[in-house]
Structure 1
Amino acid sequence: MRERVILHCDLNAFYCSVELLSHPELQKVPTAVCGDPLSRHGIILAKNEAAKKYGVQTAETVWQARRKCPGLQLLPPHHDLYAEYSVKVNEIYQRYTDQVEPFSIDESWLDVTGSQQLFGDGKTIADDIRATVKRELGLSVSVGVSFCKVFAKMGSDMKKPDATTVLDRQNWRQILYPMPVGSLLFVGQATEEKLERYGIKTIGDLAKLEEDDLRGLLGKQGGTLYRYVNGLENEPVRHIDDPDEIKSIGNSTTFRRNLVGLEDIRTGVISLSSLVGYRLRKHALKCYGVQVTIKDPQFNVRDRQTQLQHPTNITREIYSTAMELIQKSWKLRDPIRLLAVTAISLVPEDTGEQLNMFEQSGGRLRLEALDRSLDKVQNKYGKGVVKPASVLKNDIGVD
C-alpha cells in the first residue's frame, strides 16, 4: 500500500492579508483587523507580521494591543470578503486533488497521494500551491506535508509565513518529541496542566506511556492521543463534495454586561440552551454530552463537560446539565463576560436507547414533544416569538 501524502494548508494572517490587498500602503505598517474598538467586542481578530513583532496577539483587546504598539493601524472586518477568498483558495487546491477538506475558513487538508505522478512529490506540490496562491490571489500559505492529518497540521504551524515543512517517517519523532506536550493537536490547557502534574512535559514524554495508561489518565481522549504520538492516526481526508459532518452544536454570547450571580447565569444559560436544543432538533441529532465554556473579564477561559446517561435534544435537559456544570466549577459571584453551551458526542436522533417505564409514559417524551411544538411556532412566525419568561426584559443582551 502506498504511503499517504497529506498536506495541511494554512493561510497566513488571513483576515489581515485580505484587507491589505486593498491597503497596500499598510503592508509594512503594524496593522490589525478588529471589532468595534468602542465596544466590549473590540478584540484583535488578525494582525500582520509588522504588528506581530510588537507582540500584538489575536484575541487580545484593542487597548492591550495599542499599549504594545501605539501606532497600530486598525481595520474593520469584512467577513463576506473572507468567505469569497476562502472559496477561491480552495478552488486552487482542487486543481491538485478532489480530496480537499476545509478545517476552517483559512485552513484545509489535501490528500495528494494519487496526484504525485502528475505534480511531483508532496513538498513539490506544496511549494507549487504556495506560489500559485501568491501569484493569483496575493496571499501567502504555510503548508505542512506528512503521512497523516495531525502531523500535516502541526507542520503548517512550524514555519510562518509562506513556508513548507515536511514531517515524514524519518524525521517526525526527532522534530516533534522535544516539543511541549501542549503543542500536540487537541491538547488544551486543562489537559496540558493535568499531564504536567504527572511529569509529562513533552510530546516524547507522552509517547512513553502505554495506551491503557493514557486511557486511565484521560479516558477516551487518552486513546486518541496515543494514536497521535505514535504516528497511528489515519483519518481520511474527505472528498470536496462530501457533506460536512456536524461534530458539535453550540452557541456563545458575550454579554452586554458581566453576569454576576445565579439569576444572571440562569438567564444566559436558558437562552443559549434553547438555541442549542432547537438546532439539534433541526438537524435530527441528539447529544451524549454537554460542554460549558466560561470567559471572565480578564479573558481567562474555563471549559467543563460531562457525558449523559441518554442522548438528548431536550432544551430543559441541556439547560439543567449546563447549570450543574457551572455550579460545580464556578464561584457564582465571580463575573462572567462570555458563556458558551455546546452539545457534543452527537448521534442521529433515531439512535436506539432503552427508556424506563416512567420515561416512556411521560417525562422525557413529553418534554421533547413540547419542544417540537414550540419549534413549529418559531418556524412559522420567526425566531424569538416564543421565549422563556426568564429572558424577558433582561439587560444582559440575550433574547
Structure 2
Amino acid sequence: MDRVILHCDLNCFYASVELLSRPDLREIPTAVCGDPSSRHGIILAKNEPAKRYGVQTAETIWQAKKKCPGLVLLPPHHGLYHQYSRKVNAIYDQYTDLVEPFGIDESWLDVTHTLHLFGGDAGGLADTLRERMKEELGLTLSVGVSFNKVFAKLGSDYKKPDATTVISRENWQSIVWPLPVGDLLYVGGAARKLLRQYGVETIGQLAACRREMLETLMGKMGAQLYEYANGLDREAVRSRAEADVVKSVGNGTTFPQNLTTREEVRRGIAVLADSVASRLRRLGLYAGGVQVTVRDPAFHDRSRQRQFAAPTHLIRDLTESAMALTAELWQPPAPIRALTVTAIHLSPEDAAYEQVDLFNAGALPKKEKQEKLEAAMDRIRGRFGADAIAFGASRPGHREEDPLP
C-alpha cells in the first residue's frame, strides 16, 4: 500500500508573521532582513508584492533595493517565529503523530493510517489544513500531496501561495518530469552545473540517465537522485519525537569588518573552534575530521576538509587543522567576510577512545592533559557563564607560532 504524505510549506513565513501586526504593509513590497550594521544584511523573507519585483531570499539588501527602491525592511523576531511554528505543529499533531519538520516553516505529515478518520480524501485534508491556518493563525499554506516525501515536497513548491497540489501514481510523470532538475530535493547549484554539462536540465532527463552513470559522476548522491527522479523514494516520515542523529557540529560568523591579516584570521578561527569543541563535549561526540568554509565580500564560498589522525573534541586540534585548511584557501591581504568551522565524521565517546587507544597511543598523555584542561573550562563556564574563560588563541593580542605560511 502506498503511503499518503503531505508536505506543508508556510508561505513567506517570516514576512507573514511580521505582517500580522502590520496589515498596512500587506500590499506594499516588504522584506525581513538581517541587520546591515552588523553585516548580516541579507533578505531572510519577503512578501508576495516584493516577490513580484524579483526580490529573492538570501540576496543582499542593496541588490533587493536596486530591484525595488521602495522596499520596506523589517528586522527579524526569531522568538516570535518559533512561537508560531509551535502553534502550526500543534495543528498538524491533531491529524497524525508522524510529523517531521524540515526547517521552521515546512513539515512532512504521514497520514496513511489516520486519513480515514478525516474523510479519506488527502486533497480534501490538505484544503482543510490550509483553511485552518488562515482562520486560526492568519497564515497561508501550500501543500503537496503524494506517495513519497520527495514528490510531496515538489507538490508544495509547484503552486504558491495558498494552494494544494496532488501528485499521484497516475499523474506524477506528467507533472514532475518537465520540471527543472533544480526543483528536485537536494539538487543544488553545483549539481545543476555538473548535470548541465551532460545535457540534463529537467527531472525527466535525469530519470532517463543510467543509474551507474549518475553514481560514477556523483557517488551515492547520484544513485539517490536517480531514485528521486524515478519516483522510487521510500524514506519514511520521522516523528518529531525521534532524536535526530547529529552528523556534524559547526559554527560560523560574519565579522563586523573584513579580516585581512593572519592574526585576525587566527583569532576568528580559534573562537569558532572553541564553540564547536564545547558543543562536541556536551553531546559526548568526537570529530573524525574538520571542514572550513571561507566567504569573501562578494559572497563566494570556498571549502576544504581533512581527516584527523585520531578522533578529537579538543579546541587546539580543531584550531590547528582549521587554520591549515584556511591557508589552502586564502592568502593575506585578501579580505575574508565570514568563516565557518565544522566538525565532521562524528563518533560517540566510547568508539573514539577505542580508536585513540589503537592508533595514537603515544599521544595519550598530552591528550589527557588537554582533555582535563578543556573539561575544567566547561565546568567554569557552566557555573559562571560562557564568557567566564576563553582559550588562549581566541584572546586579542595572543600570539603563538603561526601555522599559516
Calculate the TM-score normalised by the size of structure 1.
Answer: 0.89
2:317 alignment counterpart: 317
SS at match of 1:136: helix
The aligned counterpart of 1:362 is 363
Segment drifting more, 169-178 vs 101-110: 169-178
Q: Which moved more, 1:317-326 or 1:108-117?
A: 317-326
Give the stretch that moved more between structures: 313-322 or 15-24. Answer: 313-322
Deviation of the 1:177 alpha carbon: 2.7
Q: Deviations over 1:239-259 (max 9, x none)?
A: 243334433321110101112
The CA distance in 1 between the partners of 2:194 and 2:308, in whole Å, is 23
* 1:24 paired to 2:23: yes
Q: Does 1:392 align with 2:395?
A: yes
Shift of the 207–370 alpha-carbon distance from structure 1 to 2, 3 Å rule, reads farther
CA distance in 2: counterparts of 1:53 and 1:388, whole angstroms: 49
Maintained 8 Å contact 2:310/2:360: no
> 1:376 is paired with a residue of what secondary structure?
helix
1:108 corresponding residue in structure 2: 107
Closer/same/farther in 2, CA of residues 213 and 159 from structure 1, 3 Å limit: same
1:14 aligns with 2:13: yes
Q: How far apart in 2 are the matches of 1:292 and 1:38?
A: 25
User: Residue in 1 aligned with 2:134?
Assistant: 134
- 2:318 is matched by which residue type in structure 1? I
**1:336-391 Cα distance to aligned partner (Å, 9 max, x none):** 21111222343323236544666124258434444334323332332133323333
Q: Which moved more, 1:77-86 or 1:233-242?
A: 233-242
Note if contact 1:6-1:110 (Cα within 8 Å) is conserved in structure 2: yes
- Secondary structure of 1:123's counterpart equals helix
Give the stretch that moved more between structures: 228-237 or 124-133: 228-237
Alignment of 1:1-399 (within 5 A): 2-119=1-118, 120-306=120-306, 310-351=310-351, 353-355=354-356, 359-363=360-364, 365-366=367-368, 367-393=370-396
- Which has the larger displacement, 114-123 or 329-338? 329-338
Counterpart CA distance in 2 for 1:198 and 1:370 is 53
Equivalent pairs counted in the alignment come to 394
Given residue 59 of structure 1, which amino acid in structure 2 is its aligned partner?
Answer: A
> Is the CA contact 1:293–1:301 (under 8 Å) kept in the aligned structure 2?
yes
- 1:255-279 per-residue CA deviation (whole Å, 9 max, x = no partner) reads 0111224333222222111111110
SS at match of 1:362: helix
**SS of structure 2 residue aligned to 1:57:** coil
Tell me how far apart the structure 2 counterparts of residues 78 and 237 of structure 1 sit (CA, whole Å): 29
Q: Aligned-pair distance for 1:238?
A: 1.9
* 8 Å contact from structure 1 (residues 142, 163) kept in 2: yes
Shift in CA distance, 371/215, structure 1 to aligned 2, threshold 3 Å: farther
User: Within 2, Cα distance between the matches of 1:49 and 1:225?
Assistant: 31
Query: What's the CA shift string for 1:59-91, capped at 9, x where partnerless?
Result: 223233222222222222221111111111111
Letter in 2 for 1:359: N
Unpaired runs of 5+ residues, structure 1, are none
Question: Does 176-185 or 140-149 show the bigger shift?
Answer: 176-185
Q: Map Cα deviations across residues 299-336 of structure 1 (whole Å, 9 max, x no partner).
A: 23334445556543233333344334433344554322
Q: Deviations over 1:116-165 (max 9, x none)?
A: 21122221111111111111111001111122222212221221111112
SS in 2 for 1:91: helix
Assess, with a 3 A threshold, how the Cα gap between structure 1 residues 65 and 307 changes in structure 2: closer, same or farther: same
C-alpha displacement of 1:234: 2.0
Retained in 2: the 8 A contact 1:45–1:59? Answer: yes
Q: Give the TM-score normalised by the residue count of structure 2.
A: 0.88
Aligned residue identity for 2:134: K
**CA deviation string 1:97-119 (max 9, x = no partner):** 11111111111111011122112
Answer with 357-366 or 137-146: which moved more. Answer: 357-366
CA RMSD of superposed structures (Å): 2.6
Give me the whole-angstrom Cα distance separating, in 2, the residues matched to 1:311 and 1:176. 43
- Opposite residue 128 of structure 2, the aligned amino acid is D
Letter of the structure 2 residue corresponding to residue 110 of structure 1: L
With over 3 angstroms needed to count, the CA separation of the structure-2 counterparts of 1:48 and 1:244, relative to structure 1, is: same
1:359–1:365: 8 Å Cα contact kept in structure 2?
no
